[in-house]
Amino acid sequence: QLQASGGGLVQAGDSLRLSCEASGRTVDKYAIGWFRQAPGKEREWVGAISWNGRSAIYADSMEGRFTISRDNWKNMVFLQMNSLNAEDTAVYYCAADPLGSVSPLQSMKTSRYDAWGQGTLVTVSS
């Protein structure tokens, strides 16, 4: 199972780091993707990191503001979010991709992931 945590209420311009922790399985061979879902909107891909952490890709709107990293020893993946704005308000989810690699067209597909964590709510006040 995966569990995302670290969400909360922040102000516009603030930073926040989310964590994704795996329990009951090791994810060191999995790529991990981050998605988010804002109220009344469809789930949106944020980015993904390869199994070894050497490749990380992002949706265009997150590029430069969000950074994904991982610590396989701790079985955890992180999403560092900077310069947050009200449009970043959403529930954020992490998911495991057994193929391990990342690619812009494939990593954004929810069907690629075989495990999803419970989300964590991020609220950005303007």
Indicate the pLDDT class of residue 99, thresholds 50, 70 and 90: very high
- Write down the pLDDT at residue 41: 96
- Write down the pLDDT at residue 125: 96
- Write down the pLDDT at residue 1: 85
Find the largest Cα–Cα distance for the chain.
39
- Write down the pLDDT at residue 52: 96
Task: Give dist(CA 70, CA 40) in Å, integer.
Answer: 30
Residue 10: C-alpha distances to residues 16, 60, 88, 99, 120 (Å):
8, 22, 11, 34, 13
pLDDT tens column, 40-86: 999 999 999 999 999 999 999 888 999 999 999 999 999 999 999 99
Share above pLDDT 90 across residues of the chain, in percent, rounded to a whole number = 89
Q: What is the mean pLDDT of the chain?
A: 95
- Write down the pLDDT at residue 101: 95
